[in-house]
Structure 1
Amino acid sequence: MQMLCQIDTPDYASWKTAFDDDYEERMQAGLSQLQIWRDADHGSTVLVLFEVNDRKRAEAWIAKEQGFGGAMTCTFLETV
């Protein structure tokens, strides 16, 4: 299963630093980063694709991240 997260950030550089620092927590949540995209026109929207090894832990990670107040939406995806 994969998960696609859209994050809206006014400061990509600061977001990326914090995201990189959160690596260990994502691993503990059963998430492996597959790809990151950035909006080519505005740069304020970031999409991150993860491989999900444990949906319940991934959902807990999402709740924690959304608790910081940033705009983030995530969708779980499966290959059909």
Structure 2
Amino acid sequence: MLQLLCQLDTNDFPGWKCDFDAEATERMEAGLTLLQMWRDADSRSRVLMLFEVNDRARAQAWLRKEQGFGGPMTATFLQFA
């Protein structure tokens, strides 16, 4: 099972979160399930999201589309050790 950890820096968290919530169906169609979302306690503009990945190819396509949405984002695919 794969998971995906994304880190985003956004200057408009409320606006970004509203758009993020509106795209729940797109994430589901990309084989992604949001497991957890955090905001950095020391940098309120930084958001971290952990997803369960059901289809890596579709998840990668979603990441390509999302690059630059709301701010710079990094993404790392993870598997259990």
Same fold (TM over 0.5): yes
Contact 2:12–2:70 under 8 Å retained in 1: no
Report the TM-score when normalising by structure 1.
0.94
**Please, what is the CA RMSD of the aligned residues?**
1.2
> Aligned partners of 1:23, 1:35: CA distance in 2, in Å?
14
Equivalenced residue count is: 80
Name the % identity: 62
| Structure 2 equivalent of residue 36 of structure 1 | 37
Quote the Cα distance in structure 2 between the aligned partners of 1:29 and 1:43: 27
State the 4+ residue runs in structure 1 displaced beyond 6 angstroms. Answer: none
> Unaligned stretches of 5+ in structure 2?
none
SS in structure 2 of the partner of residue 42 of structure 1: coil
Aligned to 1:11: 12
* TM-score where L is the length of structure 2: 0.93
Question: What CA deviation, in whole Å up to 9, does each residue of 1:24-51 have, x standing for no partner?
Answer: 0000000000000001122100000000
